[in-house]
Amino acid sequence: MNKKPLICITTGEPAGIGPEICLDLINSPYVDSHNLLLIGDVHLLNKRAKSLGKDVDFIIISNPDDFPVLKYGQLAVLHVDCPDHNCIGRPLAINASYVLNTLDIAIDLCKKGASKVIVTAPVNKDVLNQGAIDFIGHTEYFAEKFGVKKVVMMLANNLLRVALLTTHIPLAKVPSQITPENLDSAIQIIHDSFTSNFNQPQPRIAVCGLNPHAGENGYLGMEEINIINPVIEKWQQVGYLVSGSYPADTIFNRASEFDVILAMYHDQGLPVLKYSGFETGVNITLGLPIIRTSVDHGTALDLAGKGLASSVSLHSAIEIAIQLSFTSG
């Protein structure tokens, strides 16, 4: 038994690469300083390890208060039953509740105070919707479960930090969500998170326009003039280092001048980030009462079970989560 901080790691969609990238955590530099707890099916993890020739000794944990000191090669698992293990590369609706259970267990551990950090492996949103509930994304799921009205998805790699005003919605619905209230709270959440978790008391936030050329003075769209610029000016008067709105096609070239660039929608910001450094990218949910990070990639069904998947993003997600948990106290 030991009192190291508990890091909950959900192992993700069993058909994808989530379980196998988790096996690489035997080599995590944080195994000695933290209790890394995989939440998933131990038999599935064991089979995946054996089929990939990885020597992992799984220690089942039923109560995280009784977390033992692990030796090299051991990984701690809180076992959750997965109904059908015969699923590599083929997500099954029958396993959807299992995937959600792993998230709910991590959430419960945080709500009980046993942990304040959740790191997630990728899930398959389509199959979760077929088999369980309306699932838009972890970001929205955690917001709902922790009773938070608004959170901000931010992805970061070694070069860039990109936050999103809107997340998993159809492109046609984006303009209706560019509202003063939504933008106001996104800027507030980003500012507060950088102040409290990133040790950055005056974060420099660049805000993208919605339209080409940030609307070109109204000729290419009015959202900048009517909504985005007035909100930026309001926060500037408060003393925040918020600027814009900037044309999204060029502002990323100036990333080094800012701490974070706020994009208006998913595919305005994330392609730039993922192109500039996919492997080390980490997805961070700002505005939750806990630290939540994730890999920046999906389930990669075509790679699953082949031993070809990279665990670099998972290692980065754990590293950033631990850094953030230190600074948040």
Binding site for ligand 4TP (CB under 6 A): 137-139, 270, 283, 294, 296
SS3 187: helix
Residue 140 CB, nearest approach to ligand 4TP (Å)? 6
* Nearest CB to ligand 4TP, comparing residues 58 and 146: 146
Residue 13 CB, nearest approach to ligand 4TP (Å)? 11
Determine contact, residues 291/321, Cβ cutoff 8 Å: yes
Residue 120 CB, nearest approach to ligand 4TP (Å)? 7
SS3 100: helix
C-alpha 272/C-alpha 247 separation (Å) is 14
* Nearest CB to ligand 4TP, comparing residues 76 and 263: 263
* Nearest CB to ligand 4TP, comparing residues 41 and 296: 296
Determine contact, residues 48/20, Cβ cutoff 8 Å: yes
* Nearest CB to ligand 4TP, comparing residues 166 and 294: 294
Please identify the residue of the shown chain whose CB is closest to the bound ligand 4TP.
Answer: 137
Residue 125 CB, nearest approach to ligand 4TP (Å)? 7
80-111 b/e (C-beta count within 10 Å ≥ 16 → b): bebeebebbeebbeebbbbbbbbbbbbbebbe
* Nearest CB to ligand 4TP, comparing residues 31 and 320: 320
How far is the first Cα of the chain from the last one, in angstroms, to the nearest whole number?
Answer: 23
Residue 229 CB, nearest approach to ligand 4TP (Å)? 27
Q: Rg of the chain over CA atoms, in angstroms?
A: 20
Residue 28 is encoded by which pair of tokens?
A: 């995590």
